[in-house]
Structure 1
Amino acid sequence: MKTIRIAGVPEHFNLPWHLSIDNNEFEKENINLQWTDIPEGTGKLCQMLRNNETDIAVILTEGIVKDIVAGNPSKIVQVYVESPLIWGIHVAARSRYKKLSELENTKVAISRPGSGSQLMAYVNAGNQGWDTQKLEFVTINTIGGAVEALTNGTADYFMWERFMTKPLVDNGTFRRIADCPTPWPCFVIAVTDKLLESDPKIVRKILKIINERTKVFKEIPHIDITLSDNYHQKIKDIREWLSLTKWSQKQLSEEMLNNVQNQLLTLSIIDKKGTFAEIVKS
């Protein structure tokens, strides 16, 4: 049996992986798929791919595109979630800020440099016509760190997936003042060049298994209750999230990659564009 390491965020998007692992679907193909939850998010996942600490990452599209252009020896092998990620823009419940426009030139809490929370702060600033050169970041590592930073005032706002952060809005820790959807599919599956070169067949097997799971994921009996219980979400929020979320079984298109890179280039997140062959495994 071959051991393959995979990592991703501990969020509801990744429940299909856990169900397939628990159901021994990978084991039946002689694959010991070892999942690691990474609450720090995309920046940490990029680092793990670079350092050979994981073979596969389920990762934000903009984050891995940026890092592959910067030299990460990995490739995108497939889109995982086709729908946009809806980033909630949050302030502390007692913050003096009430409107998005008031957050210009304030401090942004980010999980770590290169993370989705940082990249989407640039996207949001670009959408608002703010000077992205004036963005100031405070690294907080995890959502717990964001709670601390916003509550004590070391940071002013925090962008994170809207539904995962909703319990903190409901309990009066955060107040959400706006949303910022990604202008591209939110999650892709990235694999190290090392694994792609040494065992492309096993990568294809893994993709086949997870694609079969995601095709029918929404049809699983009581999946809304399972998600609600596992991720401590209100059932009505889970049902709304399910209605908005669309998994994919297809590769990232050249057109969409160009769209992502053009926006990252415009926002000075990357200083050059990579080729389709450098970023995507066709």
Structure 2
Amino acid sequence: MKKVNIGGVPEHFNLAWYLTLKNGEYKEENINLRWHDYHGGTGAMCKALREKEIDIAVILTEGIIKDIIAGNPSKIVQTFVESPLIWGIHVAAKSNYTKIADLKGTKAAISRYGSGSHLMAYINAENNDWNQEKDLDFEVIKNLDGAVEGLTNGDADYFLWEKFTTKPLVDDGTFRSVGNCPSPWPCFVIAVREDFIASDEATLKTILEIINNTTADFKHIPSIDKTIANRYEQQLEDVQEWLSLTEWSQELIDKETINEVQNKLLKLDIIPHKVDYNQLIYTL
């Protein structure tokens, strides 16, 4: 049986992977797919791909594009979630900050440099016409638990993380939401190490066929909203809103979208230069 390691965030976006694993669909194809949760998000997964801890990552589009340009020997093989990620902008419940404008020049908590929370802080700054050199400052907090500690202790002032994942922390009075910052492109892609593609392309195709069959009909799975609410400890109405906003994809990310992401990252000085579309993607 072929062993394959895959990584992703432990969030509702990836429930389809859990369901297909639970159903034994990969083992039926003689594939031992092992899922690894990355609480540290994109930056942690980029590191795991580079160090060959995982073969495949379900990862934020802007984060993996940045890291491939920086030398990560991986390729994007498919869009996973077509819709934008809605990043909630959070402060500690007892913070004096009440709106996004109040956060200008304060310190953003980020999971690590190069992570989604880091890159989206730049997008938020641009959206609000801030000076990215003067008005942005960062505190590395590793993960969501670190953000709770950092904001509560005053080590950082605000934190960008997926809105629905952090909603329970808003509901219980740990965080307060001051606004949202949607990503300007499809949020999650599937990235694979180049050496794995070269040696196991047939295995990869089988894995994608299985997951795509599930995501294509994901919203029609009976009581899927209740399943998500229970598994991720969320309010049913929040899950239903999230499902209404979220669209999965079974297609390769297009050249226009890749160009749009690179233009934005270059403008924000997050990447040193743009690269050709074919340096970032692989067509199966």
> Which bracket does the TM-score occupy, shorter chain normalised?
over 0.9
Question: Residue 182 of structure 1 aligns with which residue?
Answer: 183
Describe the SS at the equivalent of 2:133. helix
TM-score, normalised via structure 1 length? 0.99
Note the C-alpha offset of 1:234.
Answer: 0.3
Question: Residue 44 of structure 2 aligns with which residue?
Answer: 44
Describe the SS at the equivalent of 1:270. coil
Note the C-alpha offset of 1:257.
Answer: 0.2
Aligned residue runs from structure 1 range 188-203, under 5 A: 188-203=189-204
Note the C-alpha offset of 1:132.
Answer: 1.1
For 2:133 and 2:100, locate their aligned partners in 1 and report how far apart those are by CA, in whole Å.
Answer: 18
Runs of 4+ in 1 over 4 A off after TM superposition: none
For 2:194 and 2:78, locate their aligned partners in 1 and report how far apart those are by CA, in whole Å.
Answer: 14
Q: Which runs of 5+ in 1 are unaligned?
A: none
* Aligned residue type for 1:20: T
* Aligned residue type for 2:120: M
Question: Residue 247 of structure 2 aligns with which residue?
Answer: 246
Note the C-alpha offset of 1:131.
Answer: 1.1
Question: Residue 213 of structure 2 aligns with which residue?
Answer: 212
Task: Confirm or deny that 1:101 pairs with 2:97.
Answer: no
For 2:76 and 2:210, locate their aligned partners in 1 and report how far apart those are by CA, in whole Å.
Answer: 17
Describe the SS at the equivalent of 2:156. coil
For 2:34 and 2:145, locate their aligned partners in 1 and report how far apart those are by CA, in whole Å.
Answer: 25
- 1:144-201 deviation per Cα after TM superposition (whole angstroms, max 9, x unaligned): 1101111111100000000000001011111100100000000000000010111111
Q: Percent identity?
A: 58
For 1:7 and 1:199, locate their aligned partners in 2 and report how far apart those are by CA, in whole Å.
Answer: 17
For 2:200 and 2:234, locate their aligned partners in 1 and report how far apart those are by CA, in whole Å.
Answer: 39
For 1:239 and 1:274, locate their aligned partners in 2 and report how far apart those are by CA, in whole Å.
Answer: 39
Describe the SS at the equivalent of 1:132. coil
For 2:194 and 2:13, locate their aligned partners in 1 and report how far apart those are by CA, in whole Å.
Answer: 25
Task: Confirm or deny that 1:259 pairs with 2:260.
Answer: yes
- 1:232-271 deviation per Cα after TM superposition (whole angstroms, max 9, x unaligned): 0000000000000000000000000000000000111101
Note the C-alpha offset of 1:142.
Answer: 1.3
The number of equivalent residue pairs is 282
Deviating more after overlay: 126-135 vs 82-91: 126-135
Question: Residue 278 of structure 1 aligns with which residue?
Answer: 279
Note the C-alpha offset of 1:274.
Answer: 1.4
TM-score, normalised via structure 2 length? 0.98
Describe the SS at the equivalent of 2:217. helix
- 1:57-101 deviation per Cα after TM superposition (whole angstroms, max 9, x unaligned): 000000000000111000000000000000000001110111111
